[in-house]
Structure formats: structure tokens, C-alpha cells
């Protein structure tokens, strides 16, 4: 399932992406998903949202991957 994946050249982070993580939180919780990932418009930031809607920032993701 994807959201905000139809760029027009002017809609980068328009209500979605790492700038507006609330949209992803609602999607994950409402659809009972295990996890969701949110990227910013140019792909240099990432956030994750767990099944409860808790945000896991990029630094925490790096730590998880490193360990």
C-alpha cells in the first residue's frame, strides 16, 4: 500500500512524507499494518511507524540496523 507516490512536480511532501507523518500513522493504525515507512521528497530522510502509530526516527533505524 502506498500513499503520496504520484508526483506532479509541485506536490512533494504535500500532506505526506516525513514532513507529515500523521498521514502514515493513521494509515498504519487504521489498516492494522505492522509497520510503515515514510520518506521525504528527495529520499534523504526516513521515518518508520509501528503498529501502534509510534514514530521511529532515522537515527533509531540506523541503530537497529547496526546492532
Contact in structure between 15 and 9 (CB atoms under 8 Å): no
pLDDT at 26 over 90: yes
Burial of 64 (0-12, 13-18, 19+ CB in 10 A): exposed
Strands 55-56 and 35-39: what pairing? unpaired
- Check residue 6 and give its pLDDT: 86
Position 66 confidence tier, pLDDT thresholds 50, 70, 90 = very high
Contact by Cβ (8 Å): 56, 46: no
For the chain, list the domains and their CATH numbers. Answer: 17-66 (3.40.120.10)
Could you count the other beta carbons within 10 Å of the beta carbon of residue 20?
Answer: 14
Reported as a single tens digit per residue, the pLDDT across 4-21 is 888 888 887 788 877 788
Amino acid at each position: 500500500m502506498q500513499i503520496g507516490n504520484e508526483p506532479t512536480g509541485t506536490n512533494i511532501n504535500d500532506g505526506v512524507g516525513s514532513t507529515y507523518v500523521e498521514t502514515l500513522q493513521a494509515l498504519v493504525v487504521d489498516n492494522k499494518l505492522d509497520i510503515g515507512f515514510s520518506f521525504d521528497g528527495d529520499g534523504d530522510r526516513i521515518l518508520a511507524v509501528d503498529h501502534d502509530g509510534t514514530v521511529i526516527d532515522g537515527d533509531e533505524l540506523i541503530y537497529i540496523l547496526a546492532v
